Structure 1
Amino acid sequence: MSLISEENVRGGNVFRDLSADDEEWQPTEIESLCMNCYQNGTTRLLLTKIPFFKEIIVSSFSCTNCGWSNTEIQSAGRIHDQGVCYTLKVKSKQDLNREVVKADCAKTRIPELDFEIPPFTQKGSLSTIEGLLDRAVAGLEQDQPARRASEPQVAEKLDEFIQKLKKLKDVEHEFTLVIEDPSGNSFVENPVAPQKDEALTVTRFKRTVQQDQQLGIRADDDLEEEPAGNDLDTMRGEVLVFPTNCPECNAPASTNMKLVQIPHFKEVVIMATNCDSCGHRTNEVKSGGATEELGTKITLQVTDASDMTRDVLKSETCSVLIPELEFELGMAALGGKFTTLEGLLEDIKDLTVSKNPFVCGDSSDADRVEKLKEFGEKIEKILAGEMKVHIVLDDPAGNSYVQNVYAPEPDPEMTVEKYTRTFEQNEELGLNDMKTENYQEAK
C-alpha cells in the first residue's frame, strides 16, 4: 500500500492542516512488528503541519497483544540555510510555560548545571520549558533501579543531580536554557510579541561541515568546505535556475537567481521561488558585496501613504524598529527582502499577527490576543497614512537600503547614520575571528 498517493503529490497536498472537518484525510495504517512481544501490531502515519514546526510526520504504534504503544514526531520540513540558537534567561515560573518546539537534531544546554542533551538523543517534540525539564528528569531516572544495584555510587550522584534539575522548576534562582539547532527548525515562544523579549536572545549561525554531515546534506567523506564561486561577471545578465522544494508544501519547485544593480546603492543577489503546486511565492535577497566597514542606521519618517511605495532592501542582518509602537524585529526574522515599505509592513503584520500560532487554540491568551489585534490595527493605520511613525532599519553589516525619492538630492524625511560596530555585533557577523591582513595563500 502506497503511503502517499500520486494524486496528492501532484496536487501539493502531501502535508495538510489538521482539521476535524476533513474526513477524507485519514492516517495511513500499516501492519508492523511489535518490538516488545514480537507479535504484529499497527503503525499509523499522519502527514500534517503544525506552526513553526512546518511539516511533520506523526507516527503512532499500538499492539493489541501486549498493550505496548509508542508515539513519535519527525520533522519533514526543509532544513533552513542557517542554524538557530535560542538563549533564554528563565527568571520566573511564568517562563516555564513558554511553548518550545525542539527538533531532534537540536542540542539543549543548561550552563549553570553543566548539563547538556546531545543532538539526536531525543525525538522532536512540541512542549514547554517545564516539559523539557520533566523529560530530562524522566530520561535520567529511567535506568536508576538497575544502576543502584550495579553502581550505587554513580546512582547516588545522579540522584543528587536529578534533584537539582527538579529544583529548577521552583525558579528560586535564575538559570539559562540554550537550544542550538543547526537545522533552524526549533523555536522558543516570545510571550510579549510583537515587542522584543528582553529575556530571549535569538542568533543565526552558519553550519559547520560536521553539522551538515549530521543532517545528511553533505557526504560523510566530504571534508572540504564549499568551493568558491565563479567570477560574478559571468553571472551578470543571466537568470540562474536551480531545483529546490517549496517551503510550504514541500513539492518540487524552481528557484530563480539574478544579480541586480540597485541605483545609488550596490549590487545584490535576488532569489525568487514560485511553487506551481500550492501557489506559494517567496523572495530572498543577499548582498552581492562585502560587509561594510561601518554599520548603517536608516531612519525614515512616514508622513503619508505615498511613502509606502518606497523601495526597501532589508538584508538578513538588519533589524527593524518602530519606536512609536515599541516594536523591534530582530535580524534574520524575515530574512533578506527587496520589496516596498508597504510590503515590509505587511510581512511584519503577517509574522506577528496573522500567522502567529499562539493566538488560537489551547496556546491562546486573551490579553496577548488583544495586544496583537491592536498592533495589527496600528499597522493598518500606518499603511493607510493615518498614523505618522518612524521606521528604523539598523544594519550592522551596512547592506540595507531605503529609496531616496529626492535623489540625488538629500531626502528631508530620511536620515542615514554610519556607526562603528560593537564587539558583540562583530561577533554575530563572525568578523572577530576573521583574519584578512597579511594573508598569504599556502604553497
Structure 2
Amino acid sequence: MEGIKAADPIYLNLSADDPELGTTQIESICMNCYKTGVTRLLLTKIPFYKEVVIMSFTCDDCGYQNNEIQSGSEIKEKAIRIKLTVDDVKDLNRRVCKTDYSGVRIEELDFEIPPKSQKGEITTIEGIIDRVVTGLSQDQEKRNLEHPEAAEQINQFIQKLEELKEVKKPFTIVLDDISGDAYIENLCAPHSDPKLHVSNYTRNKEQNHLLGIFDRDEIEDQKEKADQDENNEMLKPIAEGAWPLEELHGEVLQFPTNCPECAAPCDTNMKLTNIPHFKEVVIMATVCERCGHKTNEVKSGGGIEEKGLRIEVKITSREDFSRDVLKSENCHLAIRELEVDVGPSALGGRFTTVEGILTAMRDQLSENSAMFRDSASKDSEDRLDKFLEEFEKVLNGGREVTMILDDPTGNSYVQALSDDGKPDPNLRIIRYHRSFEQNEELGLNDMKVEGYEEDSNAE
C-alpha cells in the first residue's frame, strides 16, 4: 500500500512532523455525482482507546466530502454504556468516538439515535447535536409546503436542540455501544470524572448475532450444516479448534494472533499454572518481532467467586514493592492518595509485583500522553505533568500510598509478607456481596445457577 512500508507497524502513531505518514490514497466513486473521487485511509491509534481506521473522501468535481471511522481491533468482551452530564459549555467540546453500533440518547428530550443508523465517526458532543440538526433540517422547505404541521413540530424540536448548545440547564447524553468501542473524553484524566459514568454489560444473544458472534452450540449447529454443504467451510476450523481445558495442564500452547501494539501477525504462548495459596490461572505471553512489543496477560482458570474482593495494600517501604500481585481482567485498580482510578480494561489481567503494576500504569500514561498535548488544553497538560511527578515520587519510595484492588469476581490476589501466621499490617482484605449492577456487568443476573439436578431428573 502506498505510504506504508512493509516493515512498518500496521497501526501508526500520529506525527505532527509528518501528518501524511501512513496514509493510503485510493480512487473511489463519488456517491453524490458518481464521478471519481479520492478516499484517504489512515490506520492509527487513539491514546487510551484503541486502533481505528479513519476514512476521508473528497470529490473535486462536486465538492462532496465524507469521513468515517471503523474499528481496527477485536470486538470487546462486553458492551459499554457511557452516561455524561453536560452542565458546562466546555463539555460540548469533549471528544467522542462512536461506531456503527453506537446508540445515542438525550434523556431530557426523550430523543434517541438507534444503532446502525449512522456511520462511526470521531466528533464532539456539539458535533453530535449539529449532525442531528442538519439531518432534521433536510427537506424542510418541501415539508413546509406539503406537511406544514409536521414541519413546524420539527422546527420546534430543532430549536430545543439548539438551546442545548447554550447549556442553560444541565442535560444528559447516553452513548450505548454493543461492540464496546464507544468513547467520550475524560476532561479530568488521569483522575476519574464525576460527570462521566462508564459501565460495561454482557450482550444478549441477539446483540452477539448482530456483531457476528456465536456461542459453541450455535457453531456446532453451523458445523453440522457445513458438513452437509460442501461449499460452506468457513465455520469448521472454529468448531474444530476448541481445546478441552483439562488437557492443557503442563502444556505450553502456541497460537497465532496479532500484536496489541501494531497489529502485526505474531505468536502467543499460553500455559495453565497454579499460584501457591491461591488458585489456577491461565498465563499468556506475546512477543512481537516487528515492533518488539512484549505483553503478558493472566486470566482466571476457575469460575467467579461467591463474593467480591477488595484488597488494600499500603506501600510504605521497598519491601512492599516486591509483593506478588495478580490483577484479574475484571479488577478495578485505584491509588487513594493520587486520586487515580484505573478501570479493568486499561491494564487487563496480569501477574506481576506491586512495583511492576505501578510502573505499567506510569508507562501507559507517559506513552499515551498525546491526548493531553497539541489540541488539549494547557490545564490538562499541566495536570498530567504534575500527576507524573507525584507518580515518580511513589516509585522512588518518596511517598507512601495505598493501592486498592476491587475485584467483583474475587479472582485477584496480593502476597502477604508475614509468614508466621500473623496478620500483615499493610494488607487489608475485605470480601463483600456484589451489587445488582456488578452482577449485571458480569452477566450473573440472568444466569441459571440452581435446579440443574431437577431438570436432569425430569429429562
The answer on whether the counterparts of 2:69 and 2:99 sit within 8 Å (CA) in structure 1 is no
1:6-405 equivalences in 2 (<5 Å): 8=6, 11-22=7-18, 25=21, 27-52=23-48, 54-216=50-212, 231-363=244-376, 365-405=377-417
Pick closer, same or farther for the CA change 1:339–1:142 going to 2, 3 Å. Answer: farther
What is the CA-CA distance between 1:408 and the residue it aligns to?
5.9
TM-score by length of 1: 0.88
Give the % identical residues: 50
SS at match of 1:361: coil
CA contact (8 A) 1:78 1:250 kept: no
SS at match of 1:159: helix
What is the Cα deviation at residue 23 of structure 1?
A: 8.6
Indicate the SS of the match to 1:60. Answer: strand
Q: In the TM superposition, what whole-angstrom CA distance separates every residue of 1:125-146 from its partner, at most 9, and x where no partner exists? A: 2222112111122122223333
Residue range with higher mean Cα deviation, 23-32 or 185-194? 23-32
In structure 2, how many angstroms separate the alpha carbons of the residues matched to 1:12 and 1:80?
26
**Aligned-residue offset at 1:231:** 5.0
Please say if residues 405 and 411 of structure 1, whose CA atoms lie closer than 8 Å, have aligned partners that are also in contact: yes
Distance 1:376 1:67, change over 3 A: closer
CA–CA distance in structure 2, aligned partners of residues 88 and 293 of structure 1? 32
- The structural deviation recorded for 1:229 is 7.0
Distance in 2 separating the partners of 1:369 and 1:264: 43
| AA matched with 1:286 | K
> Deviation digits for residues 401-430 of structure 1, max 9, x if unmatched?
001133362323212122223333333333
Q: Indicate if the aligned counterparts of 1:12 and 1:250 stay in contact, CA closer than 8 A.
A: no
Rounded to whole Å, the distance in 1 between the matches of 2:408 and 2:165 is: 38
What SS does structure 1 have at the residue aligned with 2:330?
A: coil
Structure 1 residues 120 and 27, CA, compared in 2 at 3 Å: closer, same or farther? Answer: same
SS of the residue 2:347 aligns to: coil
Between stretches 385-394 and 87-96, larger displacement belongs to 87-96
| CA 1:350–1:110: 2 relative to 1, 3 Å | farther
SS in 1 for 2:375: helix
Matched with 2:226 is none
1:12 Cα offset (Å): 4.2
Change in CA separation of 1:394 and 1:15 when aligned onto 2, cut-off 3 Å: closer
Matches within 5 A, 1:408-427: 409=421, 410-427=423-440
1:173-203 deviation digits (Å, cap 9, x = unpaired)? 3322111223332211111122222221112
Supply the distance in 2 between the matched residues of 1:96 and 1:131 (Cα, whole angstroms): 8
Structure 1: how far apart are the matches of 2:22 and 2:310?
A: 52
**Residue ranges of structure 1 left out of the alignment (5+ in a row):** none
Quote the offset at 1:223 in angstroms.
7.9
Q: 2:201, 2:440 within 8 Å by CA — same for their partners in 1?
A: no
**2:47 corresponds to which letter in structure 1?**
P
In 2: Cα distance, 1:40 partner to 1:429 partner: 49
Counterparts of 1:284 and 1:106, CA distance in 2:
28
Cα distance change on mapping 1:78 and 1:331 into 2, 3 Å = closer
1:124 maps to a residue whose letter is G
Cα distance in 2 between the residues matched to 1:157 and 1:73: 32
Query: Which deviations, in whole Å up to 9, do the C-alpha atoms of 1:247-283 show, x marking residues without a partner?
Result: 2212112222222211111111222222222122222
Greater shift, 36-45 or 191-200, is seen at 36-45
How many residues end up aligned between the 2 structures?
Answer: 437
Match of 1:90, as an amino acid? Answer: V
Q: 1:433 to 1:22 in 2, by over 3 A?
A: same
SS in 1 for 2:128: helix
What secondary structure is seen at the aligned counterpart in 1 of 2:83? strand
Range with bigger deviation, 427-436 or 284-293: 427-436
Q: TM-score by structure 2 length?
A: 0.85
Q: For 1:44 and 1:231, how far apart are their aligned partners in 2? A: 45
- Provide the secondary structure at the position in 1 that maps to 2:165: helix
